[in-house]
Amino acid sequence: MDLEAADHEVVRPNFDLEARASGVLLHLTSLPGPHGNGDLGPWARSFVDFLARAGQRWWQMLPINPVGDGNSPYSGVSVFAGNPLLISLDDLAAEGLLPQHALGRELPGERADYAAAAELRDRALRAAFACFCEQGDRYAGELAAFRARTRYWLSDYTLFMALRARNPGLGWTEFEGGLALREPSALARATRGLADELAFFEFEQFVFDRQWTALRTYACQRGVGLIGDVPIFVAHDSADVWSHPSYFELDERGASKSVSGVPPDYFSATGQRWGNPLYRWSAIERDGFAFWIERVRGLMTRFDVIRLDHFIGFVRYWKIDAAEETAEKGEFLPGPGAKLFDALLRALGAVPFIAEDLGDVTPEVRGLRDQFGLPGMRVLQFAFGTDSQASDFLPHAYVPRSVAYTGTHDNDTIVGWFEDPGAEDGPRSPEQAQRERKAALAYLAGPLATRLPGPVHWEMIRAVVASVSNTAIIPMQDVLGLGSEARMNAPGQSQGNWEWRLPAHALNPQLASQLREHARVYGRLPGSNVDERSAAPEV
């Protein structure tokens, strides 16, 4: 694909969260492809085409930053940079930046293999970098513009990555020679000595940026908007914490004094100890919230809508002493609240956010959400269990300013959840699992029904799409009716997460037609209105 004309000022359709529409949740790494994980190449464009044929307005994905421990997109080594694993080698070859022989062997595609994908891409991208250096004049103007747009974070990120490469297996607190504490003379020496590596990591980000812009333009031209995801917290072993230590609760050696998480909840009896360092919000506020303003500014160049993960953390967050092994012991402390969102509004104007207002939602959380007119989330799978807010997740209780989901990336699939027998030592007992199935059956099929009229995933999809929520988003695993083997993430489980991949044969016309019919009947086709809902389906 020719990326020469990638344009950051593309005039985009009105991707309005107030309009009635639907979409699909699928992370890029879950796409098919020959290089270990999905990427920004041909399969991403094929998925856009599928969404357009299916009458879907939105493609939602997980964070696209370089992944860190456990391959989690919610724990990246930078909140500004793009993940090099998402760079399409096929598109680099098509552009003439990568010889065909440097593409490397194809990797099995059933599950994402991050280690193999990283090794393959590093070799291929270094070969592409050599070609890029030979063709430097061709990209000079674009590269200069890219450097200007990313000046807030790019040099710190490239130096951090070069130091990590020179010190494999070490966290930044173990960098020697004054580098851990960013002594100016040590930084200057490292910058001179690692010039070639800095240029390579800059090249990776430049290529990612061009490919991303090309994909977003392609999606825009087909009426598909992109919804991104921004984790509230930052990984400790990241360029962000290393380059802005005063913004985080660290000791004199740079180690975390306290960490993030949530108290015991639906997912875990001991809570979730995420382990991210906590912000020193007072320090960030003194700098005019510049870190967050630049973070959101960058996201706005990549997405049409931004989902704020763990929105309740902006009101109050769970502080855990770093020495604690679980999240059971901690305390709630106040977040920045409206001050942060006022600063974002002044600097960037109205940003199209979705508030992930799940968990222990207090009146203050609802107040902040509503003060800035942000749609919250409604997750149908939560409607039938013991969640204290379960009744709010029933479709008859939804409000138009909301985004409705069958489930999220942290949930089991609909089929897996419905068929799960429960376990005495699991998150649901057999009795609780049975109660939830009975409640779902009564709600979806009627109080006197003994069976569902159709497959459970399509009944749940129909309930969400038929709701009054302006936006309905369905995880791709639920569209396909897959079981627990296709679950994207199981909180509290350290192995096997983030690896699910879409079968190459899945994006077929029949599936697109089914989604389109749901969008048509319930008034969610792009540009549809009430009169069109009874029109004959397109052939």
Instruction: Give me the active site residues, please.
Output: 309, 356, 410
Cβ distance 220 to 296 under 8 Å? no
What DSSP line would sit under 237-270, residue for residue?
Answer: SSHHHHH-GGGB-B-TTS-BSEEEEE-S-SS-TT
For residue 451, the surrounding DSSP H or E stretch is none
Helices (H) and strands (E) in the chain, counts: 17, 12
What is the Cα gyration radius of the chain? Answer: 23
End-to-end Cα spacing for the chain: 30
- 54 in Cβ contact with 21 (< 8 Å): no
- What does the alpha-carbon distance between residue 296 and residue 291 come to, in Å, rounded to a whole number? 9
CA atoms within a 13 Å half-sphere pointing along the CA-CB vector of 479: 28
Cβ 396 vs Cβ 455: under 8 Å: no
Q: Between 195-221 and 136-149, two packed helices, what is the crossing angle to 10 degrees?
A: 80
| Two tokens, residue 201 | 């990591």
Around Cβ 139, how many Cβ atoms within 10 Å? 17
Residue 378 CA from chain centroid, whole number: 18
Matching residue, tokens 């009627």: 446
